[in-house]
């Protein structure tokens, strides 16, 4: 949930995590919170990984085409260089950053900043997708959103990859992924045969 704070003491910061599957509205929720902060005349800085160029190079853009300007960065530690004067910091697509993001966000919160992070909590195999699980553990507030399963309409907690490719980091949207519920999620369905066999043997 989004925190509702009265008499916010100066120098008090915290971390909010917005997570879930693809198409669950994570970026839309991030943008909503950041716009509310701006309406409250708070100083806001927004960041995303430079590798995410799907919709725009210097904007955070949701699947419903809501957008807000941002600064693309290569590493989490660069956030510290750009966020010194900010009251509120937004970070989108956090799964594309390294696990150093947990340390960076903790440092920012300790310095009195509100840090809002959005990202996938599971990869296309249904495994925990760092650094989101680590951030969830240290965050004061965690919001887990769900999409709608395209097969049955149940709450969707998984991102089903529908194109071939075994790389964990694969930029894509509606052409590469579908939201699926637990019953209709088949993580190895679109993997090359040799990759799927290797994953199955690892489980055994």
pTM for the whole thing? Answer: 0.85
82 in any annotated domain: yes
104 in any annotated domain: yes
Q: What are the CA-CA distances from residue 42 to residues 35, 45, 77, 109 (Å)?
A: 10, 10, 23, 16
Q: What is the pLDDT of residue 182?
A: 97
Q: What are the CA-CA distances from residue 126 to residues 39, 44, 50 (Å)?
A: 37, 33, 25
131 in any annotated domain: yes
CA 157 – CA 145 distance, rounded (Å):
8
The single residue of 93, 130, 140, 178 carrying the catalytic annotation is 93
Residue range 6-14: mean pLDDT, rounded: 73
pLDDT at 90 > cutoff 70? yes
Q: Is 16 a catalytic residue?
A: no
CATH code for the domain in which residue 22 is found: 3.40.50.300
183 in any annotated domain: no
29 in any annotated domain: yes
pLDDT at 87 > cutoff 90? yes
Q: If pLDDT is split at 50, 70 and 90, which confidence band does 118 have? A: very high
pLDDT at 199 > cutoff 50? no
Residue range 16-32: mean pLDDT, rounded: 95
1 in any annotated domain: no
Provide the domain limits for residue 65.
14-145
164 in any annotated domain: no
Q: What is the pLDDT of residue 198?
A: 37
Total tally of structural domains belonging to the chain: 1
């Amino acid at each position: 949930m989004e925190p509702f704070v009265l008499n916010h003491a100066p120098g008090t910061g915290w971390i909010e995590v917005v997570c879930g599957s693809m198409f669950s509205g994570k970026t839309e929720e991030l943008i909503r919170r950041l716009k509310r902060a701006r309406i409250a005349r708070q100083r806001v800085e927004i960041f995303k990984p430079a590798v995410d160029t799907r919709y725009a190079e210097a904007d955070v853009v949701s699947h419903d085409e809501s957008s807000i300007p941002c600064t693309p960065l290569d590493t989490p530690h660069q956030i510290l260089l750009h966020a010194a004067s900010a009251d509120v910091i937004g970070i989108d697509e956090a799964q594309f950053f390294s696990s150093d993001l947990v340390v960076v966000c903790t440092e920012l919160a300790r310095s009195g900043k509100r840090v809002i992070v959005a990202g996938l909590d599971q990869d296309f195999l249904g495994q925990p997708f760092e650094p989101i699980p680590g951030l969830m553990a240290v965050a004061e507030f965690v919001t887990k959103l769900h999409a709608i399963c395209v097969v049955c309409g149940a709450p969707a907690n998984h991102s089903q990859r529908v194109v071939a490719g075994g790389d964990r980091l694969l930029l894509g949207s509606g052409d590469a992924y579908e939201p699926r519920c637990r019953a209709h999620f088949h993580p190895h369905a679109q993997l090359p045969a040799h990759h799927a066999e290797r994953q199955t043997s690892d489980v055994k």
